[in-house]
């Protein structure tokens, strides 16, 4: 599903973000990537979504070899990958339903399919009945769940959640984590980055620790101590 083979990323001669990272993620896995700020976590995510290209090394995601990937194929790649950010990135003047539907509209999905799909996805993330709410009427945890719904509405095979609980209190953070676990049970590969030690230690999932641009440890059911 995801393969990084001896991947190095340099932004300039004096700045090496990643050094010969090798990593394999199986389909339907739930993987947590941890590490201090500046360790290289965000660079890995940018490489996976093809926002950045590796300086050296090989990346294959869902059978697509990034080395031979043409620019016109990048939208196909990004349909396989949903991304959730720390700061939600919702459209403030659109309702919950409209925010999620927008991800389908921009790829040309018809109104009938949108009307069928969006309520089903909102139900998955626990927002049934809140379709007409505006973002300003929601809690932080609900906003993040709208963002997750928007990320999964196109049924990506991979969901990247980049510090999705960073701005949330513990209760809402766990609401979001439970939604990610539910999505993973449906068969989506989940990659979560977080600084939250409690979440990492309670989830008992595979933990990859990045330190100074290298993989410091990769444990099947790891703990994290910053």
pLDDT tens digits for range 30-49: 999 999 888 999 899 999 99
In a domain, 139, yes or no: no
Flag whether 138 is in a domain: no
| Listed residue (142, 140, 108, 92) closest to 122, CA to CA | 142
Q: Is the pLDDT of residue 15 over 90?
A: no
Q: What is the CATH number of the domain that holds 51?
A: 3.40.50.300
Question: Does residue 123 have a pLDDT over 70?
Answer: yes
Instruction: Give the helix/strand (H/E) hosting 23.
Output: strand 15-25
168: in domain:
yes
Is 157's pLDDT higher than 60?
Answer: yes
Q: How far is CA 218 from the centre of its chain?
A: 19
Number of structural domains, the chain?
Answer: 1
- Domain residue limits at 12: 2-89+156-219
Q: Is residue 96 part of a domain?
A: no
pLDDT band with cut points at 50, 70 and 90 for residue 207: very high
> Maximum Cα–Cα distance for the chain, whole Å?
53
What average pLDDT does this structure show over 130-151? 95
């Amino acid at each position: 599903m995801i393969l990084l083979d001896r991947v190095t990323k340099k932004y300039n001669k004096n700045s090496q973000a990643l050094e010969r990272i090798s990593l394999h993620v199986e389909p339907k896995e739930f993987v947590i990537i941890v590490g201090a700020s500046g360790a290289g976590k965000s660079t890995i995510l940018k490489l996976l979504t093809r926002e950045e290209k590796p300086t050296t090394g090989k990346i294959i995601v869902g059978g697509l070899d990034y080395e031979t990937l043409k620019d016109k194929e990048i939208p196909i790649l990004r349909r396989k990958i949903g991304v959730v950010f720390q700061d939600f990135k919702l459209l403030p003047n659109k309702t919950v339903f409209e925010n999620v539907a927008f991800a389908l509209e921009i790829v040309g999905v018809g109104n009938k399919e949108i009307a069928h799909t969006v309520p089903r996805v909102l139900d998955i993330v626990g927002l049934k009945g809140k379709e007409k709410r505006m973002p300003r009427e929601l809690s932080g945890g609900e906003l993040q769940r709208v963002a997750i719904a928007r990320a999964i509405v196109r049924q990506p095979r991979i969901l990247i959640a980049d510090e999705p609980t960073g701005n949330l209190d513990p209760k809402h953070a766990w609401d979001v984590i439970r939604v990610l676990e539910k999505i993973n049970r449906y068969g989506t590969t989940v990659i979560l980055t977080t600084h939250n030690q409690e979440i990492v230690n309670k989830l008992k999932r595979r933990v990859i620790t990045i330190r100074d641009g290298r993989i410091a440890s990769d444990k099947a059911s790891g703990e994290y101590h910053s």
